[in-house]
Structure 1
Amino acid sequence: MDLGVRGKTALVLGAGGGLGSAIAKALALEGVRVALAGRSSWSVQRTCDDIVASGGEALPLVWDLAGLSAIDAHVGAIEAKFGLVDILVNNSGGPPSTPASGQYPECWSKHFQSMVLSIIAITDRVLPGMRSKKWGRVITSSSSGVVAPISNLGISNALRLSLVGWSKTLAREVGRDGITVNIVLPGRIATPRIAFLDEQKANREGRPVEQIAAESMNVIALSRYGEPEEYGDTVALASQRASYMTGSVIRIDGGLITSN
């Protein structure tokens, strides 16, 4: 099936990590020119090399989302090489495991800037270009914790939920400009982040990490963690064929969340 996005330009944040890399590669396979943003030059370059080896076009950018002053220069570099951004995939790293209570205000402020404010500011930077074309896609990767809060991820649960309210509001503001805005919720996808969280829980509880992972899989309808490539197929939301889907929160969690 032709998704109708060949020749378009995408900016994928967190493209050096498991989820962002998978999405970037899936877009490239559809003929999208992909700008890859990430804090680690090595991981972003690795994703870039994989895309180029498969015949795609990619631009690696070492980009710390906490630095808001760098946004205009990075987006300007993308526009100079590939043109205006048509597809924006917002994907930020997660904060450390913490309870919701007892965190210093400075901690909340630090992660709010890198996880929320940066996403809003980058989106605001590329929206005028999308509006000028009367076409655009804004896809924000969040967490299943916004529906069913995850224990000991208090900061993540709270800050990611704020992006849901922002996304739904934005969808109504830009819909008439041909721009769709959606949220995607990963469940337990087999990435280094999930492995890290399993290891942290195992250390806290003094149990083998294999036992922790097995318990997690036991509450997933498909009885396994998802593969990054399966999550990468959220690229379908960038499709011309998904032009009537906006303001939605879509779960890709293997049946982990049992509520409506």
Structure 2
Amino acid sequence: MTLFRLDGKRALVTGGTRGIGLAAARQLRELGAEVTVASRSEANVQAAAQQLGARGLVADVSRPEEIERLMAQVGPLDILVINAGGPPPSLPSQVSEDGWEKGFQTTFMSAVRLADGALPGMRERGWGRIIAITSQSVQNPVLMLPVSNAMRAAVTNHLKTLAMEVARDGVTCNTVAPGLTATERLQNLYRPDEAETIKKNIPAQRFGQPEEVAAAIAFLATREAAYITGQEILVDGGNNI
């Protein structure tokens, strides 16, 4: 039996057109999965789908009606990778009611709704993988990312709780928490001089690469990871040791 293959499995990766989401979609394709990537940007969706040889769908996961439409278009799923763009930086005291609500809908409720949409089919078939991309800030909050800190922690605990319910049905639920990873978002958060200073405080002395985070996601999607559920996998260069 060939190890670490996903031939015949159907996967959806939201936020799958850039950064870690795109890297995850690529690795799932390389393992043999039939992949659909989703994003709000039609241009990004088309570019990623062509690059990967995957299906691309446009959807704003902060809107429940668009998640419902997305799930209907995708059809039965074996693998769901939940990924949403990070809320904008701000001091905690400066987040507006609207900012909290947008973070709640985009980061937390999208995860709840996507999982709810995929679960019935997974449970019926006795096989499923739900993986959410969160952040190391779930364990060590970042001052300027209060909405992300709170909502990604909520996603983590929701999937841990859900894992207890569905493990007997052959469905696993896990989160992958990247540390500082060389993506466009990291460039937007830190100036080059700040980034160099931050690297010195990471045991690995560097930022992670999207492909390194994607490797953890891809492994959790395989049959070999069937006994791993309710876990938060840190991919952070030792930053939380």
Q: Which string of whole-angstrom CA distances, capped at 9 and with x for unpartnered residues, describes residues 41-96 of structure 1?
A: 222222211212xxxxx1101111111112222111112xxxx1000001110011
User: Partner residue of 1:257?
Assistant: 240
Contact 1:59 1:78 in 2 (8 A): no
Contact 2:130 2:172 in 1 (8 A): yes
Name the SS of the counterpart of 1:101 in structure 2. helix
Contact 2:11 2:77 in 1 (8 A): yes
Q: How many residues align?
A: 239
Supply the distance in 1 between the matched residues of 2:152 and 2:105 (Cα, whole angstroms). 12
Q: CA RMSD in A?
A: 1.1
Contact 2:60 2:67 in 1 (8 A): no
Contact 1:25 1:47 in 2 (8 A): no
Q: Which runs of 5+ in 1 are unaligned?
A: 53-57, 199-208
User: Partner residue of 2:74?
Assistant: 78
Describe how 1:64-213 pairs up with structure 2 within 5 A: 64-79=60-75, 84-198=76-190, 209-213=191-195
User: Partner residue of 2:215?
Assistant: 233
Name the SS of the counterpart of 2:174 in structure 1. strand
Amino acid of the structure 2 residue aligned with 1:31: G
User: Partner residue of 1:26?
Assistant: 27
Amino acid of the structure 2 residue aligned with 1:135: W
Name the CA shift for 1:156/1:32 in 2 (closer, same or farther; >3 Å): same
Q: Which runs of 5+ in 2 are unaligned?
A: none
Question: Which residue, 202, 211, 215 being the options, matches 2:197?
Answer: 215
Q: Which has the larger radius of gyration?
A: 1
Amino acid of the structure 1 residue aligned with 2:70: H
Question: Which residue, 37, 52, 59 being the options, matches 2:55?
Answer: 59
Contact 2:176 2:213 in 1 (8 A): no
Name the SS of the counterpart of 1:140 in structure 2. strand
Supply the distance in 2 between the matched residues of 1:227 and 1:107 (Cα, whole angstroms). 29
Query: TM-score, with normalisation over the residues of structure 1?
Result: 0.89
User: Partner residue of 1:243?
Assistant: 226
Q: Which string of whole-angstrom CA distances, capped at 9 and with x for unpartnered residues, describes residues 175-219 of structure 1?
A: 000000001100111000111111xxxxxxxxxx22111111111
Using the aligned pairs only, state the percent identity: 38
Supply the distance in 1 between the matched residues of 2:90 and 2:109 (Cα, whole angstroms). 20
Supply the distance in 1 between the matched residues of 2:187 and 2:193 (Cα, whole angstroms). 13
Supply the distance in 1 between the matched residues of 2:198 and 2:40 (Cα, whole angstroms). 29
Supply the distance in 2 between the matched residues of 1:95 and 1:246 (Cα, whole angstroms). 27
Q: Which string of whole-angstrom CA distances, capped at 9 and with x for unpartnered residues, describes residues 123-157 of structure 1?
A: 10110010111000000100110001112111110
Supply the distance in 2 between the matched residues of 1:251 and 1:37 (Cα, whole angstroms). 24
Moved over 4 A (4+): none
Residue 100 of structure 1, CA deviation = 1.5
Supply the distance in 2 between the matched residues of 1:134 and 1:210 (Cα, whole angstroms). 48
